[in-house]
Amino acid sequence: MEVVFAIISIVAAVLQIILFFKLWGMTNDVRKLKDAVIGNFSQANPSHQKEMEAPPIEHMGISVGDYVIRKSDGKRMKVQSIYNNKLFCSANVFGGYKYYALDEIEKEND
């Protein structure tokens, strides 16, 4: 009985070693497949790699980079961005930034 158990144990050990190397080979194949799939995807779809440029937003003839006048005190401000019909403007470096509604500012006449 002990001899049969020893033979079964040796066969099981050999099969486990074979299985280990088969799994190791399969993981290398998966890595090759993953590299091939990712490589084909990035070549077929280069749009995710390049930076897309946003179209210029303009409200009442005011676009990003223009100077506007704040109606409350006549302060000249530069438009940094436009979001939801509000202009994100800065009066100066130390004054900070603030959103202004379109009725709070007017476009500067050059």
Per-domain residue ranges of the chain: 2-48, 58-107
CB atoms under 10 Å from CB of 87, counted, come to 25
DSSP letters for 12-73: HHHHHHHHHHHHHHHHHHHHHHHHHHHHHHHHH-GGGTSPPPPPPPEETTEETT-EEEETTT
C-alpha neighbours within 13 Å on the C-beta side of residue 74? 0
Q: What is the CA radius of gyration of the chain?
A: 34
Closest-CA residue to 107 (of 72, 73, 77): 77
C-beta atoms surrounding 61 within 10 Å: 7
pLDDT in tens, 65-107: 888 988 888 888 888 888 888 888 887 767 778 888 888 888 8
Tens-place pLDDT, residues 35-75: 777 776 555 555 555 555 655 556 677 888 888 988 888 88
Q: Which CATH class is domain 58-107?
A: mainly beta
Q: In this predicted structure, what is the pLDDT of residue 43?
A: 58
Cβ count within 10 A of residue 100: 17
- Read off the pLDDT band of 19 (50, 70, 90): very high
Between 2 and 41, residue with greater pLDDT = 2
